[in-house]
Amino acid sequence: MLVDDEDAELRAAILLSMQVDEPNGGNETDAGGEGAAAAAAEARPAAVGAVRPEDGDLMERINGVCWGEQAANPSAALLEVQSRWCQGFRFVDSEPAALKQEAGGPCGIIGPVQAFLLRRLIYVPREGTDGKAINWRSPPDIDLYLIDALLDILTQCGAELARPVVLATIAEGKEVRSVADLHSAVRFDPYDDRASASTALRASLEQYNGEYGVLLFLYSAVATRGVEAVEGDQGLELDALISLPFGHANQSLVNLMLVGAAVQHVHDGVQDVGVPLRGVSAQPEIGYLTILEQLRYVSVGSFLKNPRHPIWLLGSETHFTVLFSLDARLTAGEGPVTRAKRVFGEHDAAGGGFIMPDKVPLVLRELGIERTPAEMAALIARLGGDVVLLSTFLDVLYPGASADETPANFVVYHYNGIASPGAVVRFTRGQAKSSAPRDFGASPVLRVLRTKWSALEVDFDAEVKI
């Protein structure tokens, strides 16, 4: 099956557009002119079909999902925000594996792509390398790793609904000088296997490196997930993926990049507070930590705090950076205490670190802990009666067990795609110690990290900012 039969939106568009436009030989393309367009067309493999703007309202709908009510008639503020999102995936000379962010705004895309790129460089060897480690800071064929990272994100956007990867590219012969031009020139090609998608992306990589690369990838992710699915992920409150007036990626867009679903929340599973609030449903490849938890606005769940690989997107109030480590012990698996905290948190609808006593049997059942009715009543009384605190629950059920399974010493690196004035983008090394922290003077990055490692000190080689 090339396309899911239940996916009416994408299927209808594909059936309407099995023929591809002939190139307009007199116009240059954004990717470098007629010659580049011809080369890309020759290299591009056959797709499942081509979804073209003139065949329907797909680009219009994606535009609305990304930019909100002003998308059709953009205000001066929206045009200014869109101009800051006009950049490609480019590496810096000072750090060959580090992406450069040229203006404020698109860090919600660039940060996750950098995280998935580091995952590929450090933990997932490419085919043909025989599993041998490479110099992750200066790898050969960095563009191939970038393609892998982009496809990893797109693949998980489509995986849950069995949708094909959809690549947005600028149609041959189209001249693009503005975002409005881009929206009129975009074509969408679905690919039912990774190999063909990889070949197509490699043929179009110049566009993704170019001025509109980040936007093309954003539109690819939404098209791959599906407009209706993105709206359904968000639930009752539909927000544009990019907020105005500042142009930051909202949590739904960050989650789309990290876990493949545009859910609005960062807790584990679904919390019912009268309406179901969808969070993260499984352990992701890349994690997430945020200053908003330290400020008590949100409570990040165990899944995002404990990803498969020791790589975390870090969120401040206005920016996203990346923390990562080569020390696989940091994500060595979910221990019993960590699992207990996660399951407890799934029943803590308010995120306040407590549950009501009637939830205790449900938590124990999910943890595989059996008690007779008499034993359950005695346990609930011992846990406190009126409310059950997480700390008390762990002390009683897991006496003597350490809730912190962190190594005593480990090395981390920090990435920020925007360099400070007079500095360059680099991976900044830090020596971490899981010792009792000072009660004062913590930097913003440490305040974020302590939402996961409560007793942590990190001595970075240079100042880091989030």
Verify whether residue 414 is a known catalytic residue: no
Per-residue model confidence as pLDDT tens for the chain (466 residues): 344 444 444 444 443 333 333 333 333 334 444 444 445 455 556 555 555 544 348 999 999 999 999 999 999 999 999 999 999 999 999 999 999 999 999 999 999 999 999 999 999 977 656 666 789 999 989 999 999 999 999 999 999 999 999 999 999 999 999 999 999 999 999 999 999 999 999 999 999 999 999 999 999 999 999 999 999 999 888 899 999 889 999 999 999 999 999 999 999 999 888 888 999 999 999 999 999 999 999 999 999 999 999 999 999 999 999 999 999 989 867 778 888 988 898 888 777 789 999 999 999 999 999 999 999 999 999 998 789 999 899 999 998 765 556 788 999 999 999 988 888 999 999 999 987 666 667 899 999 999 999 889 999 999 999 9
Q: If DSSP codes are grouped into helix, strand and coil, which group holds residue 168? A: strand
> Looking up tokens 């409570």, which residue turns up?
299
Catalytic residue among 183, 248, 309, 319: 319
Size of the chain in residues: 466
Q: What is the pTM of this model?
A: 0.84
Residues 107, 183, 265, 347: which is the catalytic one? Answer: 107
Tokens at 214, concatenated: 């980040």
Q: How are beta strands 354-355 and 320-324 bridged, if at all?
A: unpaired
319 is an active site residue: yes
Query: How buried is residue 170: exposed, middle or buried, by Cβ count under 10 Å (0-12/13-18/19+)?
Result: buried
